[in-house]
Amino acid sequence: MVRVRRVLFATAAALGLSLSAAQASELRVGFTLDAMTLDPANHRNRETETIIRNMYDGLVTRDGDMKVVPQIAESFEMVSPTVYDFRIREGVTFHDGSSLTAEDVRFTFERLTAEGAMGDGQTSPRKSLLGPVESVEVRDGNTVRITLSEPWPILPAMLPFQEVVSKAFVEKVGTQGLATQANGTGPFKLVDWRKGDAIIMERFEDYYGGAPSIEPVGEACVERAIFKIIPESASRVAALLAGDVDIINELPPFSVEQVKSNPGTDVMTVNGTRSFFVAMNMEGDLFSDPRVRRAAAHAIDKDLIIDRILGGNAARIEGILSPDAFAASTDLPVYEYDPEKARALLAEAGYPDGVEITMDTVGAYKDIAEAVASLLTKGGFNTRVAVGEGAQMTQKWRTKGGPKSGDMYFTSWGNGSLDPFDIFTPTHRTNDRGNSAGYANPEVDRLLDAAAIEPDTQKRAALYREAEQIVNGDLPYVYLWVPQDIYGVSKRLTGWRPSADSRINLHDACVD
Amino acid sequence: MSLGKLAERLLHLVPVLLGVSVIVFLMMALTPGDPVDIMIGDQNVTPEQEQAMREDLGLDLPVHRQFFVFLGNAVQGDFGTSFYHRRPVLDVIVERLPATIELSLVALIIALVTAIPLGVLAAIRRNSILDKMATVGSLLGVSLPGFWFGILLLMLFAVHLQLLPVSGRIGFSSEIEPITHFLLIDTLLRGRPDAFWDALKHILLPAITLGLPMTAILMRVTRTSMLEVMRQDYIVFAEAKGLKRGRILFRHALKNALIPTVSVAAIETGSLLGGNMIVETVFGWPGLGRLVVESVFLRNYPLVQAAVLFYAVTYVLLNFIADILYTTLNPRVKL
């Protein structure tokens, strides 16, 4: 028995030593979801992209201020509202040692946009992320020209979502092979994908350095980077506290204090891109009355909820756009918290004794929705919260013009591109995908449609601002806040900061 | 059991699987939520683009036609392509299966080696403190929710005592080339005791969490059946003959008392599959259960359908094994 114990101790000690040796320059991220595939063109999933983006670079990327800057492209210009030219950088190599050419870029975009280009008659599920891209061609050796079928000014904002693949490699391994193998130009190359468990990557020594405008330029800081998949929040926090991982995403607000007070860990936040709002069913009798909608806006004390429940980690909004988004207005009228006024407006609308309503939401938002409901109740809306599953709620509220039932819907819409096109239009255009309020205003539709194709940045911003003013008056939604994304980090981590587009770029991250 | 009987039992699988396919298909079709909508997420797309994606996934067909397409392919062993992984669902499921099977087997072993001795002890020391503690313990074991108990173990052993890892199957410095894909076996086959120890440390907490309700049930079954057997004439006779107590207990009583335990264990192994979904999520265990949970939320129909069929087959087979074990161990019963 003693002998067995000794052997066990010796193995444990050896294991401990080998672990600490490996940790010398190994960075681990505790992450919510595994990649579905490693093929940059064959998924429609944000988490998958976050992982892939550390192995694959794009034509362009975003810097710390979310500005779109050249990455594999050396420069780009808008030749006309429907034609963009990208000059391709020289000296970029793929992980297999081959050099990247303009032809690889052309191939990448053709694979993304052409019907049936994925093989077996399949089209890339990412095609719609490139809107009206019509053709891609190589001009004078190292320039790639993208032609659009109609003006689409958000093309540069959408390009960071696409990564460049090697034509020769894809032709060699096929779409099937690309699902589990990676050959990018990014700062890390794939070592092992333990499906469902972890993606292990090592530094790519021949990295061209990345976007020249984002310091530091050069190869990655750490030798090994690992995405470790831990879906459950409590377990993710436990892994951070135990020192198993150095970064965790989606730190729940209620764990912020625990992570802060632990000696080896800290919390980092960044303005997110997800706007929260309460949709009011304008097709129903109650909320078709603008006075009732204004009453609801006056009944909700946003500052109180941001302060008490979100731990101060959110920015309040008076329109759909995040303060960081393109064309966001700063001078929108504010509906101040005033429960008296709310009740008075309700009385004026014919409800002197208040009304009984139900507010739908999903499980993840239940606590906050309850708080909003209790404020609404004080303002005369006797509110009950009903929790449903996400997909079910989407079907009920985002009816795309179909009949709508229900009173209120506490929900959110993400805006990774930080452009109004992807959030303002779907939530406010008549019968559009995200229009859960059933809002219809031809003037707003006209402004949104015009802005979608206006190539002049100033004019485009002005169109969106005009629409924001109208919407702020019509009030189909009570606009609430944009929460910050919260990350837990180990104190041995340096050089990394969270990014507003919720990418986790490990190129600059170092561990002591 | 004759070969004919065996074949007959296996034939019963056919209507069961057909029924399960219909039910799963209908349930997925009736559940609100649209895979394409979830996939597009918060993006601005035209209705034409949305329709193109729907066609690409084969979701533009009416439900009954989708079902027959599914059935036709399934009969040939093709369960379709995962909407998200964009690979054959069978490949995706098979990758995740070893982790789930390994975890379930270890949970089963833990349950058996704790439940049987405890059950026997509780029976022979009936109404003692030990018996009462075992009763309370088994009540707790059945009623504690897995996600709560799992996180409790995690906080204690991984965060506070730092004795065991938080999640995963094996550490990052224990890289081994798979042979059987069961890490506890592969590490030994590769001659890596350090990696074996590492894998064992990883599997311990999830296996205990998963095995807890089963331990509780098996202990109760063993205790009851042991008490039952101890009242039988042949035990009384053995005692009267002056046989040693140990010999009576282990040679005569336990052998018969274990018959119900073994068949309940075989059936309960099926319920480990359900427990897997929770335990794998809590401990970041890369198994099938977690994959199915993710797929249900994403409305990844082909994957859910194939996985449920797999569960159904496993469940039926386990029941079948339970029957065989029962008749083998107890010659008085004939199927």
Contacts of A231 in chain B (CB under 8 A): 281, 284, 290, 294
The DSSP symbol for A98 reads P
- Chain B within 8 Å of A392 (Cβ-Cβ)? yes
Q: Closest to B290 (Cβ–Cβ): which among A196, A242, A426? A: A196
pTM equals: 0.86
Identify the pLDDT of residue B1: 59
Which tokens sit at A242? Answer: 């135990």
CA gap B34, A395 in Å, rounded: 7
Q: Closest to B299 (Cβ–Cβ): which among A39, A42, A391? A: A391
Residue from A23, A194, A226 whose CB has the most chain B CBs within 10 Å, to mutate: A194
Q: Tell me whether residues A36 and B158 touch, CB distance under 8 A.
A: no
Identify the pLDDT of residue A8: 42
Contacts of B167 in chain A (CB under 8 A): 228, 230, 235, 239, 244
Q: Tell me whether residues A230 and B151 touch, CB distance under 8 A.
A: no
Contacts of B169 in chain A (CB under 8 A): 194, 197
CA gap B281, B333 in Å, rounded: 41
Identify the pLDDT of residue A17: 40
Long-range CB pairs of B64-70, under 8 A, 24+ apart, other chains included: B66/B25, B66/B29, B67/B21, B67/B22, B67/B25, B70/B21, B70/B25, B70/B302, B70/B305
HSE-CB at A510 with a 13 A cutoff on CA atoms is 6
Could you state, in order of their start, the residue ranges of all structural domains in chain B? 93-300+315-329
Which tokens sit at A336? Answer: 């101040």
Rg (CA), chain B: 24
CA gap B213, B139 in Å, rounded: 9
Identify the pLDDT of residue B272: 87
Q: Work out the burial of residue A278: count CB atoms within 10 Å of its CB; fewer than 13 is exposed, 13-18 middle, 19 or more buried.
A: buried
CA gap B297, B33 in Å, rounded: 9
Q: Tell me whether residues B99 and A196 touch, CB distance under 8 A.
A: yes
What count of CB pairs under 8 Å joins A to B?
188
Q: For chain B, which residues score pLDDT lower than 70? A: 1, 334-335
HSE-CB at A439 with a 13 A cutoff on CA atoms is 29
Alpha helices per DSSP H over B57-88: 63-75
Degrees, nearest 5: CA angle B105-B111-B113: 100
Order of strands, sheet of A73-80, starting from the edge strand that comes earlier in the sequence = A73-80, A83-88, A143-148, A133-139
* Closest-CA residue of chain A to B30: A392
Q: Tell me whether residues B166 and A44 touch, CB distance under 8 A.
A: no
Residue from A28, A51, A173, A244 whose CB has the most chain B CBs within 10 Å, to mutate: A244
> Which helix H or strand E contains A344, and what residues bound it?
helix A339-348
Query: Residue A277 pairs with which residues in a beta bridge?
Result: A411, A479
- Chain B within 8 Å of A258 (Cβ-Cβ)? no
Cα A208 to Cα A93, A218, A221, A354, B63: the distances in Å are 7, 7, 14, 65, 51
Fold classification of B93-300+315-329 (topology level)? MetI-like fold (1.10.3720)
Identify the pLDDT of residue B329: 80
CA gap B34, B300 in Å, rounded: 10
What is chain A's pLDDT, residue by residue, as a tens digit (512 residues)?
A: 344 444 444 444 444 444 444 445 999 999 999 999 999 999 988 899 999 999 999 999 999 888 899 999 999 999 999 999 999 999 999 999 999 999 999 999 999 999 999 988 889 999 989 989 999 999 988 999 999 999 999 999 999 999 999 999 999 999 999 999 999 999 999 999 999 999 999 999 999 999 999 989 999 999 999 999 999 999 999 999 999 999 999 998 889 999 999 999 999 999 888 999 999 999 999 999 999 999 999 999 999 999 998 888 899 999 999 988 999 999 999 999 999 999 999 999 999 999 999 999 998 899 899 999 999 999 999 999 999 988 888 889 988 888 889 999 999 999 988 899 999 999 999 999 899 999 999 999 999 999 999 989 999 999 999 999 999 999 999 999 999 999 999 999 999 999 988 899 999 999 98
